Structure 1
Amino acid sequence: MTADRDADDVSGRRDRITIVAYDPRWPASFDHQRNRIEAALGNGLVGRVEHVGSTAVPGLAAKPIIDMLALVSDYDQTAGLVTALGDIGWVHAPEPGDHERRKWSFCYPDVVWRTHHLHIWEVGSPDWRRLLPFRDYLRRHPDLAAEYARLKAELAAVDDSDRPRYRSGKAPFIQDILRRAVPGRAGAGS
């Protein structure tokens, strides 16, 4: 399979939206891949790779795909990044608009059966900054994390193959959490 194939439709198979109970092994799986990524990319990274998204919130039901965030100072200074990640089994999986938004996406072990999804952003981009406050707020508010889990399960139950509808259905909840987590600032995401 090539990296630029659409993950939502490969050989007629759909990448279904499946929400599962929280798996206490997710943090260890994240740590394992973080260590591999940090070793492969070394000084090309700004700070540590972060565990983001629903799998980063203890107790939160989620799609069983571990979302990860890595920052680089400038894409023009990241020669070899795709090769370095490819050498450790990560597949470059560009999403629509990645270059315009200064973001790169990678999947492990492949696009369709991925267990991990790595989002690499330029540190100067404002777009990644919603991920950490959203995660941290849900970690501090298990009642809201449970509400988010219910919403995701309901959306997936209606149509488990319509990712745009799933994302747009979550957007109001995410924006509300971001307004609470970062007063004066809202956005879509996670």
Structure 2
Amino acid sequence: MGKELSEMTLEELWDLFPIFLVPHDDKWEDDYKEMEVRLHQILTSGCVDRISHIGSTAINGIWAKNIVDVMVEIPQSTDMEKVSYLLEQNGLIRMSTEANRISLNEGYSKDGFVDKVYHIHLRYTGDNDELFFRDYLNEHAEVAREYELLKIDLWKRDEHNRDAYTDAKSDFVRKWTAEARKEYEERY
């Protein structure tokens, strides 16, 4: 019997869960909506300000990892640890914690990915650069295509190193998020 995920090194996890990109799939929106309904059932109405589909699966027409990213924005007055605990009690696994951010996942097993994979990004309301980036790319197809090509270039190089893959996209994401914030300053 193999190791549990919690017993694996980062390198073992990267080998088990390599980066892979697939053509855009309209089912991602349905997968998002399914998780959105589930999150609303788990979390009481007073502790959620907004649930949003983010990440590359939320950008029209581009290749992406087959992982649906969902941002849950909660009011500043809400205890993020309690919200995370509720999500963990309902099958999500906490992956990381940093200042005012908690990431939870679903869809990983010791045998690899399962059918539906989700990354849940728990944030306080207003910590939402991803919404600006998503909207900008959806409204600027040439920038979305440039992002897609960058991701494809990085894919094989960093297939087994998620940190390097993410880091290599950071300048692009920061640049276009800043542009989006200027263009959409009052959107969110």
When normalised by structure 2's length, the TM-score is 0.81
The root-mean-square deviation of aligned C-alpha atoms, in Å, is 2.6
Q: Give aligned-pair identity as a percent.
A: 25
Conserved? CA contact 2:52–2:70, under 8 Å: yes
List runs of 5+ in structure 1 lacking aligned partners. Answer: 185-190
Deviations 1:54-96 (A, max 9, x none): 10111111111111100122486356434432343222222xx
1:75 and 1:14 map into 2 onto residues whose CA distance is 38
Q: Is the 8 A contact 1:89 1:109 kept in 2?
A: no
Q: Which moved more, 1:106-115 or 1:155-164?
A: 106-115
CA distance in 2, matches of 1:77, 1:165: 32
**Is this contact kept in 2: 1:45–1:70, CA < 8 A?**
no
User: Shift of the alpha carbon at 1:6?
Assistant: 5.8
Pairs within 5 Å for 1:123-142: 123=125, 128-142=127-141
Aligned to 2:64: 62
**Partner of residue 149, structure 1:** 148
Shift in alpha-carbon separation, 1:123–1:144, aligned structure 2, 3 A: same
Deviation at 1:142, TM superposition (A): 1.5
C-alpha distance in 2, partners of 1:180/1:26?
26
Contact 1:53 1:135 in 2 (8 A): yes
The residue number in structure 2 matching 1:9 is 12
The equivalent residue for 1:26 is 28
Contact 2:51 2:70 in 1 (8 A): yes
* Residues 18-167 of structure 1: pairs in structure 2 closer than 5 A: 18-74=20-76, 77-78=79-80, 80-94=82-96, 98-99=97-98, 101-110=99-108, 113=113, 115-123=117-125, 128-167=127-166
CA distance in 1, matches of 2:6, 2:46: 22
Cα 1:79–1:120 shift into 2, 3 Å:
closer
- Bigger fraction of residues in strand: 2
Q: Structure 1 or 2: larger helix share? A: 2
Q: Does the residue aligned with 2:32 lie in a helix, a strand or coil?
A: helix
SS across alignment from 1:93: strand
| In 2, Cα distance between equivalents of 1:88 and 1:148 | 34
